[in-house]
Every structure is written in C-alpha cells, then in structure tokens.
C-alpha cells in the first residue's frame, strides 16, 4: 500500500464513521415513524412529531457540518490513488451529489418539515376515516408550502420546473418534461387497451377473490407467501397498518406492513407481495455498508421495480397460483370451487377501471399515477388551490378512468404520500412498472421458463438473479445504468406494453392486433 493510498484509507475510515452516526440517527427516525403507523396510541402524535423533528435536525446538521465536508474533500483529493474498479470512487460521487444538495436546505426547514409531516399524516388518517377533506386541507396546504420552500432552496434546474427540484430526492435525473412525454406515450395506449378489454364479451370472472376468507387464515397465508418468495423473518417483520408500507433500519431489520379485508382476498395478498418486493430489495442490500450509498437503494423507481415485479409478474402469474391455490385452501379450510388456480389467476387478470390505486389492475394502475402526477404539479406551482383539489380529482378520474368518485375517502384522501411530504414520488410507480417488465424479459432470457418454476414454488432463482443485477449494487450505480446493465437497453415502454397485451388480451378472449 503506497503512502497516498494509506492516507485515503485513513480518511475513508473517518468519513464512514461520521456517516455511520448519521445512519443511526436516520434509523431511529425510521423506527419511530414505523411505530407511529403500527403501534403508537393516537394521542402520542404531538410528542412523536417533536422527536422526529429533533432527529431530522440532528441528522441534517451532522451531514452538512464542515467536518464532514472536510473529510469528503480529503477523500476526493486522494481518490486517484484507488484502483479504477474500486466502487468507492462511485460512492464518493454519489455522496458529493447528496452533500451539495443537502447543504442548500436550512436546518430549520428540515426540522419544521419533519414535524409538520408527522402531524399531517395523523390528520390524514383521521380525515380519511371520517371522509372529511376540510379537516385535512390546512395540513395539506402547509405540506405544499414547505415543499415549495424546499424546491426554492434547491433551486429550479436550468430549463426545468419547480417540481424537478424535488424529484431528485426520489429519482435522480428525472424531470417533469421527461415524465409528461412518458405519460403522453403510455396513457393513450393503456386507455385504448382498457376500453377494448372492458368491452370484451369474454371477460374474466373475479368472484374468486371475493370468497370470504377469515382474517387469521389470510394472515397465515400472507406469511407463508412472504417466506416462500424469500423474505427472511429473522431479519424482518410483517405487521398491520392502515396503508401498507416498508420501513426499517438496514438489511437486517426490515419492517413491512399489510392490511386485511374479509371481503377481498386480493387486498391483503397483493399488498403483502408488493411490500415483500420492497423488503427483498432492502434485505438484499449489503448490510455491512448500511448508511453508505453501497448499502442503500438506487432510487424509488428501482425500489418500485422490485415491488411491482413480485406483485405483478410473479404474484399474478398462472404459475404462482398453481403453487398458491392449494395453500389458500389449506389455510382457509376451503372447498369452494372458486379457490382454484385457474379461477384465481383469471380473477387477477380481470381489468376494470376503479377508484382505488392500490387495488388497481395492471392495465389501469398507471392511469391513477398519471392523475396524481398532473395534479401534484398544479398544487406545487399554486395553479390549483387546495380547496379545489376534490373537484379537480373527481373530474380527472371521470375523464381518464371513466369512473365517478362518490366521496373523498375513495378520492383525493386515499393516498398517504402527500401528507408525508412525498412530493415527486408518484411517477416512480410507473418507472418501476417499466423497469420490472424489462428486468423480467432479461431474467427469462437467462433463467428460462420461470412460470413453471413458480408453479413448483421455485422463486429463489429469480431472487438470486435480482440480487446479482440490482440489489448488490446499492446506489453505487445510477438507476439508468442499473437498468441498462441488467437488461442491455435503456428504460423504455416496449417491454411493459408487450407484457400487458400478451397477458390481458388472451385472458379477455381477444386477439392481438
């Protein structure tokens, strides 16, 4: 080891020690936020909001402190001593990007946003249960005020928009212009496909999903499915919450939640599989690099590619139901003929425009996302007043999905994201759908007949393929490079549209044109 390399190693140890402290503060925030949604008594929210604000302030202060900047600068100055293939070069570039961005945010704004978002999420849950948008509107207005303040602090990119300043936290490199073009390509194609499927004479029957299954049986099935797909319960938990989500502190402590409905088996099952996809990604990140880019997800779009891949390409496949249907009958003690693999798979393929995004089928899901993206930009820019949101939302659902919104609980109050301050998040679901389809094409090319493997309960080969191509790289590679390296092509719409048409047209008795 040369003296200069030795100097880098010492600087790197000092830098990672500082980042480790920040990671532990962030982990404490994550656990408090998880507990708020799962176990915390309703009246505990005020103090919990203060605690979250304090931890957010402490984490931010440490990240933008001159001492960390000095260590980061020293490592950059000595990085030329590293071997070309040393991934710490890429980690330093990613850390520099994050550091430059975070330095633009006043610590007071970070703390206030954490406090308001905690209070707003509690207000949203109460308002949603009571179908009372008016009580939530002041909190939503405050959340968007703070989002505008953050965007102003970051600065609008040259030739970009205010929203672009926020999306960088979720999908580095994305822009409103790019996403409008993407939705401009997808929405007409998907809308035309949906109209054709809904008008089909031989539509799949979805009665199988509505056969009553006791909640205890659903919970037992959910745990068995999660374990079979690869979720490690020695390093993770499955709990209940009003809105399913994934949280935790690092690869060895991953928390996923779901919800159950006696009248709809698919509500819990597909929510669980979706969150398992997120959980598998988190458990697949290098635990020893927690708090560093190598131990963190590349982007929310890549994260959603994992959840949507397992939910739709695996969980809605005929092979999955060949394996799962007997287990459903076992847990439910069911002899109902509708609890049959063919009937359940066909129920999973039925296309029907609906009100609720998380319950949406594959063909209509991105139409929900398109609505939220366009409205979010209008709210952020102040072109849409907060009190006009329900009217705007209902009109968009009528126009794009052809459904009438009966109440705000099933309309603009259905998602937790805006109350949590996640402005810029929603399009990552569609980016995830596109990436999932491309990844599955590449995986099938290498692994062969995956549907038959799923029918035998063999999910491990796919998980290991994702571990190699996605999980192991953390955020060392950009999301764009991850997809290009794994699939051989940049992210596009072709694989996703091919997936929809090849599965759903035959299921509805229609020929491909």
Residue 338 pLDDT = 83
Residue 1 pLDDT = 53
Q: How many residues are listed for the chain in this entry?
A: 513
Give, in order, the Cα–Cα distances in Å from 29 to each of 48, 170, 408: 10, 18, 30
- Separation between Cα atoms, residue 12 and residue 219, nearest integer Å: 45
Over range 23-44, report the average pLDDT.
95
Q: Phi/psi of residue 307, each to 5°?
A: -70, -40
Over range 157-177, report the average pLDDT.
95
Render pLDDT for 267-279 as a digit per residue (tens, 0 to 9): 999 999 999 999 9
Residue 76 pLDDT = 92
Catalytic residues: 275
Dihedral, CA atoms, 236, 128, 430, 30, nearest 10 degrees?
A: -30
3-state secondary structure of 83: coil
- Separation between Cα atoms, residue 186 and residue 331, nearest integer Å: 40
Residue 334 pLDDT = 78
Whether the pLDDT of residue 4 is over 70: the answer is no
List all residues 6 or more positions away from 466 whose beta carbon is below 8 Å from its beta carbon. 280, 281, 284, 306, 309, 439, 443
Over range 474-480, report the average pLDDT.
95
- DSSP of 354-413, one letter per residue? -S-GGG--TTTHHHHHHHHHHHHHHHHHTSS-GGGHHHHHHHHIIIII------GGGTTT
- The token pair at 480 is 């764009």
Over range 386-395, report the average pLDDT.
98
Q: Which residue has the higher pLDDT, 489 or 334?
A: 489
Render pLDDT for 61-112 as a digit per residue (tens, 0 to 9): 999 999 999 999 999 999 998 998 899 999 999 999 999 999 999 999 999 9
Q: Tell me the average pLDDT of the chain.
A: 95
- Separation between Cα atoms, residue 210 and residue 149, nearest integer Å: 46
Query: 246-250 and 236-240 as β-strands: parallel, antiparallel, unpaired?
Result: unpaired
**What strands lie across the sheet with 246-250, from one edge to the other?**
236-240, 253-258, 246-250
Whether the pLDDT of residue 501 is over 70: the answer is yes
- Separation between Cα atoms, residue 434 and residue 427, nearest integer Å: 11
Q: Which residue has the higher pLDDT, 135 or 359?
A: 135
Say what the pTM is: 0.95
Confidence of residue 386 (pLDDT cuts 50, 70, 90): very high
Q: Which residue in the block uniquely carries the two structure tokens 């982990």?
A: 27
- The token pair at 358 is 């998380």
Over range 3-21, report the average pLDDT.
89
- DSSP of 121-141, one letter per residue? HHHHHHHHHHT-HHHHHHHHH
Ordered domains of the chain (ranges, CATH): 3-155 (no CATH), 176-198+208-507 (1.10.1370.30)
Task: Return the percentage of the chain with pLDDT > 70, whole number.
Answer: 99
Residue 53 pLDDT = 95
Q: Is 412 exposed, middle or buried (0-12, 13-18, 19+ CB in 10 A)?
A: buried
Over range 159-186, report the average pLDDT.
96
Residue 2 pLDDT = 59
Over range 438-445, report the average pLDDT.
98
- The token pair at 113 is 């946003």
Whether the pLDDT of residue 328 is over 90: the answer is yes
Over range 455-479, report the average pLDDT.
97
- Separation between Cα atoms, residue 452 and residue 333, nearest integer Å: 26
Confidence of residue 3 (pLDDT cuts 50, 70, 90): low
Residue 513 pLDDT = 77
């Amino acid at each position: 080891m040369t003296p200069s390399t030795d100097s880098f190693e010492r600087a790197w140890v000092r830098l990672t020690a500082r980042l480790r402290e920040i990671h532990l503060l962030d982990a404490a925030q994550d656990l408090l936020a998880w507990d708020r949604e799962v176990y915390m008594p309703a009246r505990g929210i005020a103090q919990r909001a203060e605690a979250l604000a304090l931890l957010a302030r402490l984490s931010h202060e440490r990240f933008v402190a001159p001492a960390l900047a000095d260590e980061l600068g020293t490592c950059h100055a000595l990085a030329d001593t590293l071997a070309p293939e040393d991934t710490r070069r890429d980690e330093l570039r990613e850390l520099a990007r994050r550091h430059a961005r975070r330095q633009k945010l006043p610590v007071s704004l970070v703390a206030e946003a954490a406090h308001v978002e905690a209070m707003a999420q509690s207000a949203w849950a109460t308002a949603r249960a009571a179908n009372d948008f008016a009580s939530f509107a002041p909190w939503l207005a405050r959340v968007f005020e703070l989002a505008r303040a953050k965007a102003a602090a970051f600065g609008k990119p040259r030739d970009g928009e205010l929203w672009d300043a926020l999306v960088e936290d979720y999908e580095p490199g994305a822009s409103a212009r790019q996403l409008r073009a993407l939705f401009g390509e997808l929405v007409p194609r998907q809308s035309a496909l949906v109209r054709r499927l809904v008008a089909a004479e031989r539509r799949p029957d979805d009665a199988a999903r509505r056969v009553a299954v006791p909640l205890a049986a659903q919970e037992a099935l959910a745990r068995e499915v999660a374990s079979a797909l690869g979720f490690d319960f020695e390093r993770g938990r499955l709990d209940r919450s009003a809105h399913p989500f994934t949280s935790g502190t690092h690869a060895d402590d991953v928390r996923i939640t779901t919800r159950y409905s006696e009248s709809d088996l698919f509500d819990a099952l597909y929510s669980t599989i979706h969150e398992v996809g997120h959980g598998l990604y988190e458990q697949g990140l290098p635990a020893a690099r927690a708090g560093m880019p190598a131990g963190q997800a590349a982007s929310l779009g890549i994260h959603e590619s994992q959840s949507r891949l397992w939910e739709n390409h695996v969980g809605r496949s005929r092979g999955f139901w060949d394996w799962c249907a007997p287990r459903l009958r076992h847990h439910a003690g069911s002899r109902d003929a509708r609890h049959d693999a063919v009937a359940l798979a066909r129920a999973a393929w039925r296309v029907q425009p609906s009100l609720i995004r998380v319950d949406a089928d594959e063909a209509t899901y991105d139409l929900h996302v398109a609505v939220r993206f366009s409205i979010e930009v209008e709210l952020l820019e102040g072109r849409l007043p907060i009190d006009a949101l329900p009217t705007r939302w209902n009109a968009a659902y009528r126009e794009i999905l052809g459904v009438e919104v009966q109440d705000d609980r099933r309309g603009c109050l259905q998602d937790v994201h805006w109350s949590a301050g996640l402005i810029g998040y929603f399009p990552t679901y569609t980016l995830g759908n596109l990436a999932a389809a491309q990844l599955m094409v590449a995986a099938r090319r290498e692994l062969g007949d995956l549907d038959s493997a799923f029918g035998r309960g063999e999910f491990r080969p796919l998980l290991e393929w994702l571990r190699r191509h996605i999980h192991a790289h953390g955020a060392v590679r950009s999301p764009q490079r991850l997809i290009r390296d794994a699939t051989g092509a940049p992210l596009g719409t072709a694989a996703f549209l091919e997936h929809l048409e090849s599965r759903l047209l035959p299921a509805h008795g229609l020929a491909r044109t």
